[in-house]
Structure 1
Amino acid sequence: MRFTISSITLTNYRQFQGTQTLNFSFNKKKNVAVILGKNGAGKSNILNALTWCFYGIEVHKDPKAQESGGMPIINVTELAALKPNQSTYAEVLVNIETDIGPWTIKRYIEGGKTAFGKMYLDPPKLTVIHPVGGQDKIVEGDETQKLINNLLPEALRNFFFIDGEQLREFFKFSSPQEVAEAIDNVSQLDLIMKATDNLLKYEKQLRKSVKSTTPQLEAVQRQIETLQRKIEDENASLRDLHEEIEKDSRELAQVEDYLRQHNDASVAALQRERDSLKTDVQTLKTHLQDEETNRNGYLVDITPFILLKDEIRTTYQLIQYKVDKGELPPKIKETFVRELIERGRCICGNELIGNAKSELEAYSKKLVLSELSEVSISGKTTIEDIFSDIENFPNRIDKFNEKIDLFKDQFDRKMLRLEHISEEIKGHNIDEIRRYEERQNQLTSIINRNKQQQLMRKAGIGTLNSTLEEKMEQEKIELSKDKKNAHLRIKLQLVQDARTTLANTEYVVKAKIRNQVEKSTKENFLTLIRKKTAFTDVLIDEEFNVKIIHSHGYNAINDLSAGEYMILGLSFMSALMTISGFHAPVIIDTPLGKIDDEHR
């Protein structure tokens, strides 16, 4: 459903004392409203008011801080003026226009002072007025939030109600996993995941209703249940590791940004050099591994020939001797001699008499051996090629080793330089830099360790899944032994096939959406960016790493200006909104952030 906001009325909400209304005009050609205001005037709280009214959540507020004595939602001046046993309220009322008529959404909270003068706040109440069958219907209670989620799901609110500062920092500090999660949320792939979970629960229920007619069936079902529990536990641990890695990666990005942007020019230069060296080291490590693999593969191929060099040479000399004597290849084919014997006549036409036939028999046997030896003639060329490879072995292995030594030398020199840079940065008489440097090393170590655990758990889950598939095949065999379970067996198979189909669907849909988001982000970014020739491409790879390709081919994702980060974030969010399927207004607090002198 398409909707626009026509007005918002604030009553005693935060710094808005009394009742104040903002009306928004709607024009298809100029569909943008700009609110100007100095710092502290309440611009951010307009965004907070909208998200609080819709979802009971304020974008810029920490719920925990509020619970532990933070500023209340009701205007503090109004609360302070209350006497014991008096109350007041805060209210946000939003009028919206939809395809089917006007809606009104209102969230209300009452608070006051007890007889002893203690402040209290009641739980907020939500009311929705919307058209049904040509009449307005008033809805309160649990159903109201469902109505709003039909307009715009809470999971998508961050793509329509946007904090400009977070928009600027999204690609500066976000990890590939957060990019993937953003795409998952907006594409509503969680529906597929929920369906998969429900199918798994139903599969377990079906398995419980199966009559264990044989000890083997009962045993294999217990094994399946155990394996499924283990897989669930491992996946839960894997999710925890994901969260830890994401949290530490965000902090690491902030630490590295601090070191890069610090006002000490020499430290900033060292940090930039280290960033470049890290990329070089990773590239050299890949080249080194590839070259060692190529060399080892070559050694595996050539070693048998080197070890059998003398035997191969003897074979070659024997073949050459036969060739020189004229024994190879044979001048007469054995089949020709065999025809003469069978006809009983010589090539001249005379009959074979006396010992002629037996002599031809003996000669035929000799020719059979000669024709077998003829195979050696074709092998003679192959042996010559082998000798050529053996002769070239020293040169080829030297070239492999030279390249490997070169990569190792470059790798060692760059690693040594990295160590020197770390020591040099630590050596500066700046406690804050040293603390950040130490924290960077700690985070890098923690992230690497967690990534190793992540790989191990993924491998373990893969093994468990393989074992589970084997046990399910055994279960099918056992179920087929009893006709009583035939119907349940068909149901189980259907559920398992459905889960497989959903998994394949999720993979295909995610790939298509990623490509679509990549295309839209690129178009938006290259259109909005001021330096039209500076960048040539925007890529989102299969691991959801975002790359901004500079005109000279470099990936500039870590070297954008504040404005460029803002435009990239806006381009990405716009691409996500396009594929979401929801048509709602987009509200951005300070969209230009630090790149605009006037806040709006």
Structure 2
Amino acid sequence: MKLLKVKLFNFRQFYGAQTIAFSCDAKKNVTLVHAENGVGKTTLLNAIRWCFYGEVTNRFEAKDQILNFEAAAEKDPLASVEVTFEHEGRTYIVERHSSYRNGNGRGEMSLSAYSVDKNGSMHQLEAPDTFVNSVVPRAMAKYFFFDGEHAETFSSETNSRAVGQAIRDMLGCNVIEAAIQDLEYAARQYGNQLSDIPGEGELKLLAGRLKEFEEKQQHGKDRVVELIADKERLDDQIEEITSQLRQAEGARHIQRERDEKTRRLRAVQDGIKTAEQNVIRWVGAKTLPLVSRKLASETLSFIDEESLKGRIPSPYNEEFVQGLLKAELCVCGRELKPATPQWKLVADLLKKASNAELMRRVVRARTRIGVLKELRADAPRLLEAEQHRIASLAAEEKELEQAIGELGTQLKKLPIEEIAERERARQQLNEKRDEVIAKIGQYKLAVEQLDRSIRGVRSDQEKIQVKSERAKKLLTRRDVAQQGADLLRALLQQHEIDARQRIESIINEILEKTARRDYRFRFRDNFALDLTYADGKAVPKSEGENQLMSLAFISALVQFSMERSSKKDTPFFVPGTIAPLVLDSPFGKLDKRYKKDTASFVPQMASQVVLLLSSSQGDDDVVAVLSPYVGSEYVLISENRGPLGRKSEDEIVLRGKRRATSLFNRPRNLTRIEEV
């Protein structure tokens, strides 16, 4: 998909008809829109989202106030956005209208979509919502039309669930997730119908138990979702207080030290988890060599002893001996007449002769025993190394937890009451969070136990000698539905793992080009974004580094979606899409150096890029880096009915020309789009 133009009519600040045409040049793929804060950058981003989906970004204020105030005062009740774009070689127009004729202040929306033929004739499409969703699925849209001003929140410690959801959205999981839910529902319904069959008393009893377990399990799953939402709310509150402490004079240095130790604690805890997983793998891989020590030794001795006694065939080749007897000629040249003493001596060799398969078995047995001996010799050293690592990390974990607790105590004892109160509130929230986490663990454990109980009851149902043909059919259908759900879930999990690995790889490629230091990126198990130095130590991320990592994550999502768009071997997933990337204020928290480095990779983030920049973000250095890639450029002009008064005049210098961006004593308050 490529954007051709957007036409706004009485949409928010944009009075009357206003149009932007986007660059579609493959080399000059960037469209730049300059505007100061409050003039309409975010409105442009949201105009596209509103046109396609009837929704706007979460932080877009006064979401229902779509109609321009000047138009409303002039009794013009209509607002609209029209987007023209190319998709798969054809041109389309999508337009959304909002009418405010009803007088209740809420617009009545309508959506239309048209294909445009080579002659310019328009042909209306049925089901415009479905069409738009097939071009850029709604779940993926928020990552292509992205509010970069708040990008750093993507990489915050508390946003792991949103990150995980972003990957699932780009993976197109909604179809397969719906299929899993439908199959599990069908399996439950088939199971419930078993209790309605007359003459199957035991089956009816088991069906009742199964229904009880399934209802409890569903309740447990629902509670886990609710508790996770509670945890995220507490995380947000804790992060807000922590951010205040980072800025507070007198607490700043203590909070920064606590941040660093908290990051190190997470890295240590991840290390402990990895080492424990290595021990589990060690048990699986090294137990056989250790427990088979005596058996291996005795088997090797038996092979050697039997070979010595001649019970295991010696290396005479059976085919060779048979050849001599058939030719009636010995290797020494003498004749071997059948039934002669010489013939019998050669024939007796067959009793000890081996064929090729038998010798291969003996060789394989010897080789395997040798491998077991080598693995056994190495096993204790590997286990000791992991146990030593766990002990060392556990000791460091304890020290860090104590140090973090002491820093919290220092904050509570500060003479500044406001800071001490914030720290007390933070610790109370932490305690609540710990309680919620414990409950999440309890419910998850209960769900797992109920899952085992459910499978046990289903197994018991299968063992019963069912008399009714109807019951047999229901059992078969239930099992098929459940097996289908299990198969799809396993497929989904594997695709998520593959997606994480690919996105990690793309982000590390971006950081290698843009980051100041030798950083390494990875996802934690819970999808949190983790940045470390080359030695594995956690990076104490600044707001700028958070913004850079979030932009790298968005870029990786877009690239991953482009890669998936060409894959045809994933029928259970919504295909990826190729779409423009519209970024509002992408350089917000970056310093001068990071702005330039980030600007250098932005044009490669998508085949078409639209950047909405304020003067502080689109400074001379950034514009100079972007300039070779800019195919279209606009500036948003604020027109005001009132006088200049004591306000300073806003202006911007573009292409060597000075332009006023705020005009006064005008007929209306509005924003005007002007091409550079």
The question of a shared fold, defined as TM-score above 0.5 by the shorter chain, is answered with yes
Give me the whole-angstrom Cα distance separating, in 2, the residues matched to 1:51 and 1:404.
53
Query: Among residues 563, 579, 588, which one is paired with 2:560 in the alignment?
Result: 579
AA aligned opposite 2:434: N
2 CA distance for matches of 1:275 and 1:547?
14
Name the CA distance, whole Å, in 2 between partners of 1:148 and 1:445. 46
Question: Are residues 1:94 and 2:80 paired?
Answer: no
Candidates 259, 263, 270, aligned match of 1:275:
259
Deviation at 1:542, TM superposition (A): 3.2
* 1:390-539 pair list within 5 angstroms: 417-478=403-464, 480-529=466-515, 531=516, 534-539=517-522
Q: What does 1:130-149 correspond to in 2, within 5 Å?
A: 130=115, 136-139=122-125, 143-149=127-133
SS in 2 for 1:18: strand
CA distance, structure 1, for counterparts of residue 198 and residue 60 of structure 2: 54
- Taking the aligned partners of 1:547 and 1:279, their CA distance within structure 2 comes to 9
Equivalents in 1 of 2:271, 2:18: separation in Å? 63
Report what 2:182 is aligned to.
198
* Conserved 8 A contact 1:107-1:127: yes
- Distance in 2, matches of 1:132 and 1:240, equals 50
More displaced stretch, 203-212 vs 40-49: 203-212
Alpha-carbon shift at residue 190 of structure 1 (Å): 2.7
Deviation sequence 1:490-540 (CA, Å, 0-9, x none): 2222212212211211221111111111111111222232x1xx1242112
User: Displacement of 1:277 after TM fit?
Assistant: 4.2
Contact preservation (8 Å) 2:511, 2:519: no
Alignment-mate amino acid for residue 206 of structure 1: Y
Counterpart code for 1:122: G
Partner of 1:567: 548
Cα root mean square deviation, aligned? 3.2
Q: Which residue of 1 aligns with 2:72?
A: 79
In the TM superposition, residue 286 of structure 1 has moved relative to its aligned partner by 9.4
1:57 and 1:544 map into 2 onto residues whose CA distance is 27
TM-score, length-scaled by structure 1: 0.71
Distance 1:121 1:285, change over 3 A: closer
Q: C-alpha deviations, 1:233-283, integer Å up to 9, x for none?
A: 1100000111111222233223223322x152x422111222344467775
CA distance in 1, matches of 2:529, 2:392: 34
Q: C-alpha displacement at 1:411, in angstroms? A: 7.8
Gaps of 5+ in 2: 280-386, 562-575, 596-614, 619-676
1:588 is aligned to 583
Question: 1:414 Cα deviation (Å)?
Answer: 6.1
Q: How many Å apart are 1:42 and its aligned residue?
A: 0.9
Q: Using the alignment, how far apart are the partners of 2:118 and 2:269 within structure 1?
A: 69
Partner of 1:23: 21
Residues 197-217 of structure 1: CA deviation (Å, up to 9, x unaligned): 111222233335543431101
Amino acid at match of 1:269: H
Q: Helix, strand or coil for the counterpart of 1:510?
A: helix
- Partner amino acid, structure 2, of 1:453: K
Matches of 2:117 and 2:181, distance apart in 1:
35
Partner of residue 340, structure 1: none
Indicate how the Cα distance of structure 1 residues 80 and 192 shifts in structure 2: closer, same or farther if over 3 A, else same. Answer: same
Match of 1:127, SS state, is: strand
Find the counterpart in structure 2 of residue 55 from structure 1.
Answer: 53
What's 1:396 paired with?
A: none
Count the aligned residue pairs. Answer: 464
Aligned partners of 1:31, 1:45: CA distance in 2, in Å? 22
Q: Deviations over 1:150-180 (max 9, x none)?
A: 1111111111010012212210354332222
Aligned residue number for residue 533 of structure 2: 550
The alpha carbon displacement at 1:429 in A equals 4.5
User: Do structure 1's residue 110 and structure 2's residue 105 form an aligned pair?
Assistant: no
Counterpart selection for 2:37 from 18, 36, 39: 39
Task: Return the offset for 1:228.
Answer: 1.1
AA paired with 1:74?
L
Q: Is the 8 A contact 1:480 1:489 kept in 2?
A: no
Q: Which of the numbers 164, 180, 183 marks the counterpart of 2:164?
A: 180
Q: Which has the higher contact order (CA 8 A, sep 6+)?
A: 2
- Does the residue aligned with 1:594 lie in a helix, a strand or coil? coil
The 3-state SS of whatever aligns with 1:591 is coil
CA distance in 2 between partners of 1:205 and 1:95 (Å): 47
CA contact (8 A) 2:504 2:522 kept: yes
Offset at 1:569? 1.0
Distance 1:578 1:286 in 2: 30
Seen in structure 2, the aligned counterparts of structure 1 residues 474 and 159 have a Cα distance that, compared at 3 Å, is same
**What one-letter code is carried by the residue in structure 1 that aligns with 2:549?**
L
Task: Report the identity percentage.
Answer: 22
Structure 2 counterpart of 1:392? none
On the 8 A contact 1:217/1:479 being kept in 2, the answer is no
One-letter amino acid of the counterpart of residue 37, structure 2: N
Change (3 A) 1:131 1:80: closer
Counterparts of 2:260 and 2:617, CA distance in 1: 36
- For structure 1, list consecutive stretches of 5 or more residues without a partner in the other structure: 295-399
**Aligned 8 A contact 2:213 2:454 in 1:** yes
Structure 1 CA distance for aligned equivalents of residues 416 and 237 of structure 2: 20
Deviations for 1:549-572, whole angstroms, at most 9, x for unmatched residues?
21453111xx22333222211111
User: More deviation in 541-550 or 578-587?
Assistant: 541-550
Cα deviations by residue, 1:283-302 (Å, 9 ceiling, x for unpaired): 59998xx99xx9xxxxxxxx
Distance 1:471 1:49, change over 3 A: same
* Alpha carbons of structure 1 residues 173 and 137: separation in structure 2 relative to 1, 3 Å: farther
Q: Would you say 1:170 and 2:188 are equivalent positions?
A: no
Amino acid at match of 1:505: L
Kept after mapping to 2: 8 A contact 1:36/1:599: no
2: CA distance, partners of 1:489 / 1:238: 30
Q: Which residue of 1 aligns with 2:606?
A: none
> What do the CA deviations read for 1:537-595 (whole angstroms, capped 9, x no partner)?
21123332322121453111xx2233322221111112112223111111010111133
| Aligned-partner SS, 2:251 | helix
Contact 1:131/1:137, CA 8 A, preserved across alignment: yes
Distance 1:407 1:463, change over 3 A: closer
